[in-house]
Amino acid sequence: MEDVERLLGEKMKGKNQNDYKGKSEQMIKYIKKLRTCIRWFMELEDGYLADQEKLRSMLDSKEKRHAEIEAQMRAKVEELNAIIQDLQRQHASLLESFRKEEADKLIDLLKISSSSVNCLACF
């Protein structure tokens, strides 16, 4: 980078204003150095572009993977919600069966109790 700054700050010198040969030789050297710098910058830019493309590819891959995982998670959430609903229905059904059985037991107990009272009344 320092070479580039030095190259850009370089002034053409000649013995006098009409020294075209001297200035021409200096320009040839200057152009050669300039070409070297341009090649270096082009190689550097190519490296940056390759890195950028590699990073873009990695980002695309990660985004695709993220989308796949997100879709899997959404499907799993839907599956779990369906399971929860099924379990809630089973719970409600079992609770209803339990209440019915408790009520039936209570009725049976009352029947036994009333028949016992009737039996005692017979004595």
State yes or no: pLDDT of 38 exceeds 80: yes
Q: Evaluate whether 60 touches 45 at the Cβ level (below 8 Å).
A: no
Torsion angles phi and psi, residue 45, rounded to 5: -65, -40
What are the pLDDT digits (tens) for 6-37? 767 777 666 666 777 878 888 898 899 889 99
From the number of C-beta atoms within 10 Å of its C-beta (0-12, 13-18, 19+), residue 72 rates as exposed
pTM of the full predicted structure? 0.54
**Could you state, in order of their start, the residue ranges of all structural domains in the chain?**
2-122
State yes or no: pLDDT of 120 exceeds 70: no
What are the pLDDT digits (tens) for 54-83? 999 999 999 999 999 999 999 999 999 999
